[in-house]
């Protein structure tokens, strides 16, 4: 039995030293120390020994087991370290390699134009307002002095939700004038950008959905001069210091007097060219002094207060700003187009 134990000790020490992996080591542990292992098998023969021999052999067996266990433990630590080292080598990261290019998006050209506009007006002390696209005809028309029967309320131009024509997709941002007058303390200085809807066929200059920015000022002693001064300041910021403007008489139900503002054509400088269709001027926006009846309907005394308003088309502003020829490009989301700005 002594020989068997010594042979086991030698054999197991050699096998453990030669083990190349943690799996291999585990199977050696089972082979030598397991319940059905070789040491257990030898110990089963203890019963056949004499009472004198038993403690001696027991001691030897215990020391063989202890050696085996510590050899296994030491090898396990060694192999574990080696495995970790290999893993680190395999997963090594070369921080000097060039990184993967991450495509970052950027602002849509129309929003670049919008943000420019907002900046200009915020700089002049205006508040930016947001409002509903599903609007009451009361706000889109009645309170803007376009009563029942007014041609702008026609079914052929307007998206209504009900047969009584009370709820609609707003056809202009001007209802924000009324919403501001009803909710804000005087004096008021606001711009209100947003989507508007009209029953137009899609072509190079029309879309049933487009964007406007409404602007409005109400205070004591506000005149047309304030309107012209503010709009000229805006145009100079948008199109350059020397940009010329002109104001033509026009009609809107909610302003009196009303006008349209043109800018001198940036292409030809006013001589006339294809861009301005030979006119020398390009129409930019509608504006005017708020009609006294509109002020009154929203509870503002027109004897004390006066104001002006304007509405500018955002797509057109962006098209001019970036020289985009076709409105449809703005909505098509084609990256070949969008990444140019």
Which residues here bind ligand PHE, judged by CB under 6 A? 172, 174, 214, 252, 255, 286-288, 309-311
Indicate the residue among 194 and 311 with the shorter CB distance to ligand PHE. 311
Indicate the residue among 68 and 287 with the shorter CB distance to ligand PHE. 287
Indicate the residue among 104 and 156 with the shorter CB distance to ligand PHE. 156
Closest approach of ligand PHE to the CB of residue 249, in Å: 12
Q: How does DSSP assign 172-190, residue by residue?
A: SSTHHHHHHHHHSPSSEEE
234 and 261 Cβ atoms separated by less than 8 Å: no
Residues 230 and 239: their CA atoms lie apart, in Å, by 14
280 and 268 Cβ atoms separated by less than 8 Å: yes
Indicate the residue among 75 and 291 with the shorter CB distance to ligand PHE. 291
Indicate the residue among 38 and 283 with the shorter CB distance to ligand PHE. 283
Q: In what order do the strands lie in the sheet with 306-313?
A: 127-128, 188-197, 209-219, 306-313, 281-290, 255-264, 245-252
* Strand ranges in 4-46 using DSSP code E only, listed in sequence order: none
Q: Which residue is nearest to ligand PHE (CB)?
A: 311
Indicate the residue among 152 and 165 with the shorter CB distance to ligand PHE. 152
Task: Find tokens 């395999």 and name the residue.
Answer: 90
What is the b/e burial string over 61-92, where b = at least 16 CB atoms within 10 angstroms of the residue's CB? beebbeebeebbeebbeebeeeeeeeeeeeee
Indicate the residue among 61 and 263 with the shorter CB distance to ligand PHE. 263
Closest approach of ligand PHE to the CB of residue 310, in Å: 5
Residues 191 and 213: their CA atoms lie apart, in Å, by 7
On the 0-12 / 13-18 / 19+ scale of CB atoms within 10 A, 250 is: middle
Closest approach of ligand PHE to the CB of residue 226, in Å: 14
Closest approach of ligand PHE to the CB of residue 279, in Å: 19
Residue 46 DSSP code = G
Closest approach of ligand PHE to the CB of residue 252, in Å: 4
Closest approach of ligand PHE to the CB of residue 336, in Å: 32
144 and 151 Cβ atoms separated by less than 8 Å: no
Indicate the residue among 212 and 264 with the shorter CB distance to ligand PHE. 212
Closest approach of ligand PHE to the CB of residue 319, in Å: 17
Closest approach of ligand PHE to the CB of residue 124, in Å: 17
Rounded to 5 degrees, φ, ψ at 128 are -90, 125
């Amino acid at each position: 039995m002594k020989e068997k134990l010594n042979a086991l000790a030698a054999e197991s020490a050699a096998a453990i030293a030669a083990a190349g992996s943690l799996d291999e080591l585990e199977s050696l542990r089972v082979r030598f120390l397991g319940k059905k292992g070789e040491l257990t098998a030898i110990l089963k023969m203890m019963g056949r020994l004499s009472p004198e021999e038993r403690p001696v052999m027991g001691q030897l067996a215990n020391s063989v087991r202890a050696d085996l266990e510590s050899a296994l433990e030491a090898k396990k630590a060694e192999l574990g370290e080696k495995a970790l080292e290999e893993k680190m080598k395999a997963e090594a990261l070369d921080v000097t390699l060039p990184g993967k290019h991450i495509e970052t998006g950027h602002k849509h050209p129309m929003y670049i134009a919008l943000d420019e506009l907002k900046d200009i007006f915020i700089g002049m002390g205006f508040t930016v307002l947001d409002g509903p696209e599903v609007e009451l005809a009361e706000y889109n028309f009645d309170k803007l002095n376009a009563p029942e029967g007014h041609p702008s309320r026609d079914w052929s131009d307007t998206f209504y939700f009900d047969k009584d024509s009370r709820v609609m997709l707003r056809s202009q941002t001007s209802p924000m004038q009324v919403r501001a007058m009803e909710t804000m303390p005087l004096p008021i200085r606001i711009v209100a950008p947003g989507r508007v809807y009209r029953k137009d066929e899609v072509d190079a200059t029309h879309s049933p959905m487009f964007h406007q920015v409404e602007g409005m000022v109400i205070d004591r002693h506000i005149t047309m001069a304030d309107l012209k001064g503010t709009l000229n300041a805006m145009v100079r910021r948008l199109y350059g210091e020397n940009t010329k403007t002109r104001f033509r008489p026009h009609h809107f139900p909610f302003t009196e007097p009303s006008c349209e503002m043109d800018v001198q054509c940036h292409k030809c400088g006013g001589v006339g060219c294809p861009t301005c269709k030979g006119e020398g001027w390009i129409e930019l926006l509608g504006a005017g002094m708020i009609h006294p009846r509109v002020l009154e309907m929203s509870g503002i005394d027109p004897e004390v207060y006066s104001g002006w308003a304007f509405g500018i088309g955002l797509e057109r502003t962006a098209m001019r700003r970036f020289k985009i020829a076709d409105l449809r490009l703005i909505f098509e989301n084609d990256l070949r187009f969008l990444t140019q700005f």
